[in-house]
Amino acid sequence: MKKENNSRPLILVTNDDGIKAGGLEFLVKVLKQFGDVVIVAPNESYSGMSHAITVKTPLYAKLVKEKGGVKLYKVTGTPVDCVKLAINVLLDRKPDLLVSGINHGTNSSISLHYSGTVGAAREGALNQIPSIGFSLLNYRHDADFTEASRIAEHVVKVVINDKLPSGTFLNVNIPDCDPVKGARVARQSKGKWVEEFVEREDPRGRKYYWLTGHFENMETEAKDTDEYYLNKGYAAIVPCQLDATNFNLLPYMKEQNYEL
């Protein structure tokens, strides 16, 4: 690919709901004012794919359209595949910013571990690119992203100036209300999914299970968590790190004779 001379920031956009998702369209409208936008997104929904990569099959990438200066590629893989393929193959220079979303549904608290939207943002950070994942707390296809777009615009503007410290990405969740009261920096709440599997029988008489269940916030008294602010009508901005080490435990484990 030819290298273009361009001083506008290059913004890579992806998601996990696929190229036809409404949240993606709203996000691109916001981002066009800040730089040159290239969309590289899954050809279909890849919800719940976390940080998964495709290792057993090859990937196809296709330029679907170029409209208003925005190229849209679809990829036959996960959100993280999309980021890797964009950076290594499809783009002619390293993006200055990666934005993932706007996801249809929440990725707050521990849900970030399951999220393909967040996975893509984490992969951006692993490639030393300032990266943000946006999610709206509304799962419906016809969700209204107007307020979410306003919040995204604010956060993107700050990140473009700040660049974000290395090794960090943002997980931004936005409540489904109008107006959204504002945006607050928060920590990830402790929570759990209370799982329920629906058990059914297929036409051949074999039992099968659908994953379902609901989230429970385990820190209902805390006033500095993403869950707290979302419940109060504020967007929650959680700075997330790539390093999973629990540093507080290192001396404890040495005392407990984990070493051999």
Residues annotated within a binding site for a divalent metal cation: 16-17, 47, 103
| 201 touching a second copy, by CB under 8 A | no
Which residue reads 């500095």 in tokens? 224
Stretch that binds a second copy, among 2-10, 22-30, 34-42, 81-89 (CB under 8 A): 81-89
Question: Rounded distance, CA 15 to CA 49, Å?
Answer: 11
Tell the burial category of 40 from Cβ atoms under 10 Å away from its Cβ (0-12, 13-18, 19+).
buried
Least distance CB 243 / a second copy (angstroms): 5
Options 101, 119, 124, 130; binder of a second copy; rule CB under 8 A: 119
Least distance CB 68 / a second copy (angstroms): 26
**How many other C-beta atoms are found inside a 10 Å radius of the C-beta of residue 96?**
18
Site string for a second copy, 168-197 (x = CB under 8 A): x--x----------xxxx-xx-x-xx-xxx
Least distance CB 257 / a second copy (angstroms): 6
Which residue reads 């992969």 in tokens? 123
| 7 touching a second copy, by CB under 8 A | no
Stretch that binds a second copy, among 21-29, 30-38, 53-61, 135-143 (CB under 8 A): 53-61
Least distance CB 218 / a second copy (angstroms): 10
| 94 touching a second copy, by CB under 8 A | no
**Which secondary-structure segment (H or E) carries 162?**
helix 146-162
Question: Rounded distance, CA 79 to CA 158, Å?
Answer: 24
Interacting residues with a second copy between 26 and 45 (CB under 8 A): 45
| 58 touching a second copy, by CB under 8 A | yes
Interacting residues with a second copy between 139 and 158 (CB under 8 A): 151, 154-155, 158
Nearer to a second copy, 7 or 88 (CB): 88
| 258 touching a second copy, by CB under 8 A | yes
Structure tokens at 17: 């709901």
**Residues in contact with 254: Cβ distance below 8 Å, sequence separation at least 6, in sequence order:** none
Largest CA-CA distance found in the chain, in angstroms, rounded: 63
Q: How far does Cα 140 stand from its chain's mean position?
A: 17
**Pairing mode, if any, of strands 191-194 and 214-217?**
antiparallel
Stretch that binds a second copy, among 31-39, 94-102, 108-116, 136-144 (CB under 8 A): 108-116
Options 14, 15, 47, 108; binder of a second copy; rule CB under 8 A: 47
**Residues in contact with 223: Cβ distance below 8 Å, sequence separation at least 6, in sequence order:** none
